[in-house]
Amino acid sequence: MIKVALVGLSGYCSGCEVALIDLGQEILTKVNIVYSTLVADYEEIPSNIDLSLVSGAVRTEHDIEILKEIREKSSKVIALGTCASFGGIPGLANLYVVRDMLKEVYGEKVLPVEVLKLTRAAAPVSEYIEVDYMIPGCPPPYKLLRDTLLSIVEKNTFPKPPFKTVCDECPLEKKDEFSSKVYRLGEIEIDPSRCLLEQGILCMGIATVAGCKAHCPSRGAPCRGCRGPPPSISDQGERLLSAIASVFSRIDPQQLLEKIPDPAGYFYRFTLPSGTIPYNVEVLRRVKHEDRD
């Protein structure tokens, strides 16, 4: 029975831990959970951990300290979920300067001195420590999570990660005939058997790594990109922008923008900290200016 640590950083929602519980006795009876930030408040992290599953984005200096200690005390470290793998939704905070963000949330209230010091930008776990494997997803798909953990527990090896995209495993029919307009979900009646992107519905399956069996598109909902990009794509938002520009080249750019009121939140909803430009350029300019002052 291997010793497992479940580590939740500041930028996490515990959804990945719930996904672990869903695995049931098949997995839980084969591991000994020696540390879990969700279950109890431990005074210290135990040594000689076989496997640490880290969820959440790095958002505080304390997160960095915990990560380094976990790496030192663990044989294997897995980034569990999209937040740990790519920055996730908490990474959208990188669109703002920390001071402005806190003021927006707390107003003119005086923040307690004891508040943990925030890092200047949210980041994936791999920004600070070496990660042995990633299981992205919001939360990770059941079968992918199950197969990965069973491979580690029973064979002491990581399975080969998927390299294809959601489009590659999507069962919807593709005719290579695209709509002359872009629609938001609910504006038109969708053909449930045909590719959503071809019908004018923006779907991120073309830039999202496979492994979920196209769970959303096959049920009439466009892919949101929650698993991040495949290994062959370095910037998920950039790839999607390129694809849309190619697919909808005949559409008026203004009409396209009207259907995407929040471009940054759409194209980089889950992966901004891992993108080519991991934060708002204006934020970077202001941070450098503050450093000079």
CATH architecture assigned to 2-155: 3-Layer(aba) Sandwich (3.40)
Choose between 76 and 181: higher pLDDT.
Answer: 76
Cα(26)–Cα(67) distance, integer angstroms: 28
pLDDT band of residue 284 (cuts 50, 70, 90) is low
What letter represents residue 112's amino acid?
P
pLDDT per residue as tens digits for the range 237-282: 999 988 888 888 777 878 788 888 888 899 999 999 999 988 776 6
Q: Check whether 290 has a pLDDT greater than 60.
A: no
Residue 181's pLDDT is: 87
Q: Which residues contact 17 (CB under 8 A, 6 or more apart)?
A: 6, 8, 36, 38, 55
pLDDT per residue as tens digits for the range 218-230: 999 999 999 999 9
Residue 51's pLDDT is: 97
What's the pTM? 0.90
Q: Structural domain boundaries of the chain?
A: 2-155, 166-261
